[in-house]
Amino acid sequence: MSLMRAARPLNPWNWLAAPALICVAATMLFAAPFRIWGLRLPEPVFGLILAFAWPIIRPSALAPFVLLIFGLFTDLYWGSPTGLWGISLLTAYAGALSGRGLMQGQSGLVTWMWFIAMTALAMATAFFLSVLSSLNIPSLFGVFWQFLATAALYPFAHGLIQRFEDADVRFR
């Protein structure tokens, strides 16, 4: 006897707006001036969850615009140069979209490695854009810790993908 689970409907609120708002709230929560044993909370780039999961769930014309808006929010909230995280998230989205066919049906370890690669791509893009913008090299230690904190978010991206895995069979 096999257990069939019903696919959730793929409407824009469920797979685009709600996860984006959750990522906005998480960004604000982790940027709070809260210290544990003298250490600040890490500041992972929660938008990379969306930039990785959305092209795997379903290619969409709306998702890049939401990513751009989320990136602009991140720039304004963190005080980054305008467009830095928007371009970086769109770069990761394009990388995940190009590897979409390779990732489908793969184990969680393979998709986690792809998530790490897309995180590295987005961080490298942000790093080089930051260098070009400020003509100064950001702290490599800080970039590395932000990369590690963001790479640790893979279970959330995997959960979002699993939630809508069978929602739209046209793109399988």
Kindly give the confidence (pLDDT) of every residue in the chain, 172 residues in length, as a single tens digit, with 9 standing for 90 and above: 444 455 555 677 778 889 999 999 999 998 888 777 777 777 899 999 999 999 988 888 899 999 999 999 999 999 889 999 999 999 999 999 998 888 777 788 889 999 999 999 999 999 999 999 888 998 899 899 999 999 999 999 999 988 877 655 554 4
Q: Tell me which residue of 1, 4, 22, 5 sits closest to 13, measured CA to CA.
A: 22
Main-chain phi, psi angles of 39, to 5 degrees: -105, 140
Give the pTM.
0.86
Main-chain phi, psi angles of 35, to 5 degrees: -125, 140
Q: Tell me which residue of 108, 138, 102, 103 sits closest to 123, measured CA to CA.
A: 138
Quote the CA–CA distance of 21 and 13 in Å, as a whole number: 10
